[in-house]
A = this chain, B = another copy of it.
């Protein structure tokens, strides 16, 4: 009988969001009159901006006319979008990229989940702790994680992000092949300074590692000395792949558009003494297993770079960041520690003494009908914290803050 991929059988069930949903449902049943407000989910709530809506309507009309209809587009994305990305996201920050180093897709989760296919099956993977689970699970499926025991995957290299290191992971003690970094970070909302990120680039060059740099929350960076792209750092094009998304930048979580940068300078071992460019491998992967992002969605993404579109999406992000600021203040006023929230839509809040992260989750739910995400759900180093998100509406956030203040 045909056998399944054993890697899938090693996956741990992800109880986190199932468990949260279960507890919230029970609370609602017991408290039918109470409005539950979620600060737990990392999803946008504000509608698509007018420039994007107009671009979609225009593109839909084109697709309904014989003279303008388009069939299959390039697997790598249309040149008009790749040029807008190269110009606005890179050239404007002093980074020169060729458009064929940019691959447009339907989402960063797809890109990040699929990218590990390009590496040898015995590659050693490093992840931060706490961590976005896709980095781990996609490698478990590929057989790179070893068995799971005592809360750890045996072959993974863990990089703890704690208050003691200011949530900046220390360089690994044993050399990994692939290193996943996410900044601005999900779940902690913290960022890496130019110096800290240069340290990772230098390490990767010295040790011959690849950095898989997830920058899905780049649009939230406000402070001037935080790099917006890893390619602002010296030598990064030789060692780093950068993942970006329109999901949080422009509210595209339901439209699905993202891109990944794979510089031509990034070359790895072919295992026989030669080198091979990762760009050509990703191109072949996408041409074989992907058929491009919808034309109408790529037109919507291009509209984000128009003068009108930029102003509109920046206003939306300012709104979310204002939510974050108000939430940070409210949590601080509860005499709890707060990290993140300045350059990111996520707030990493310390829990009160004597509680663990699930305990504080229960407390917020039962006492204030507020939903957060227990930090322990993102890995052992997340214990002692909860994640709050700033993606709610202005009204819901204001009400959440009133409830937090009433808890003091």
Confirm or deny: A117 has a beta carbon within 8 angstroms of a beta carbon on chain B. yes
Q: Which residues from 44 to 89 on chain A have a C-beta closer than 8 Å to any C-beta of chain B?
A: 44-48, 50, 52-53, 56-57, 60-61, 63-66, 68-73
Confirm or deny: A210 has a beta carbon within 8 angstroms of a beta carbon on chain B. yes
Residues of B within 8 A of A209 (CB): 2
Do B292 and A256 touch across chains, with their CB atoms under 8 A apart? yes
Do A291 and B4 touch across chains, with their CB atoms under 8 A apart? no
Residues of B within 8 A of A393 (CB): 66
Do A121 and B269 touch across chains, with their CB atoms under 8 A apart? no
Binds B, one of A191-199, A282-290, A330-338: A282-290
Choose one: B133, B278, B288; the contact of A4 (CB below 8 Å): B278
Do B109 and A289 touch across chains, with their CB atoms under 8 A apart? yes
Confirm or deny: A383 has a beta carbon within 8 angstroms of a beta carbon on chain B. no
Do B254 and A114 touch across chains, with their CB atoms under 8 A apart? no
Do A8 and B47 touch across chains, with their CB atoms under 8 A apart? no
Residues of B within 8 A of A106 (CB): 106, 256, 291, 294
Residues of B within 8 A of A251 (CB): 69, 71
Residues of B within 8 A of A118 (CB): 4-5, 8
Confirm or deny: A259 has a beta carbon within 8 angstroms of a beta carbon on chain B. no
- Residue in B closest to A290 when the chains form the complex, CB atoms: B110
How many chain copies?
A: 2
Binds B, one of A25-33, A134-142, A163-171: A134-142
Do A53 and B60 touch across chains, with their CB atoms under 8 A apart? yes
Confirm or deny: A408 has a beta carbon within 8 angstroms of a beta carbon on chain B. no
What's the Cα separation between A67 and B46 when bound, in Å? Answer: 9
Q: How large is the interface on A (under 10, 10 to 19, 20 to 34, 35 or more residues)?
A: 35 or more
Residues of B within 8 A of A56 (CB): 56, 60, 63, 296
Do A2 and B72 touch across chains, with their CB atoms under 8 A apart? no
Do A123 and B2 touch across chains, with their CB atoms under 8 A apart? yes
Do B255 and A296 touch across chains, with their CB atoms under 8 A apart? yes
What's the Cα separation between A44 and B208 when bound, in Å? Answer: 46
Confirm or deny: A107 has a beta carbon within 8 angstroms of a beta carbon on chain B. yes
Confirm or deny: A322 has a beta carbon within 8 angstroms of a beta carbon on chain B. no
Minimum Cβ distance to chain B for residue A254 (Å): 4
Do A107 and B4 touch across chains, with their CB atoms under 8 A apart? no
Minimum Cβ distance to chain B for residue A96 (Å): 24
- Residue in B closest to A297 when the chains form the complex, CB atoms: B294
What's the Cα separation between A202 and B122 when bound, in Å? Answer: 38
Confirm or deny: A360 has a beta carbon within 8 angstroms of a beta carbon on chain B. no
What's the Cα separation between A11 and B276 when bound, in Å? Answer: 13
Whether A141 touches B117, Cβ cut-off 8 Å, given contacts A9-B276, A46-B66, A271-B3, is: yes
| A residues neighboring B (CB under 8 Å) | 1-6, 8-9, 11, 43-48, 50, 52-53, 56-57, 60-61, 63-66, 68-73, 106-107, 109-110, 113-114, 117-123, 133-134, 137-138, 141, 143, 177-178, 208-210, 251, 253-256, 268-271, 276, 278, 281, 284-285, 288-297, 393
- A3-B122, A56-B60 given; 10 more Cβ-contact pairs under 8 Å: A4-B120, A46-B66, A110-B289, A113-B290, A137-B288, A141-B285, A254-B295, A256-B291, A256-B294, A296-B296
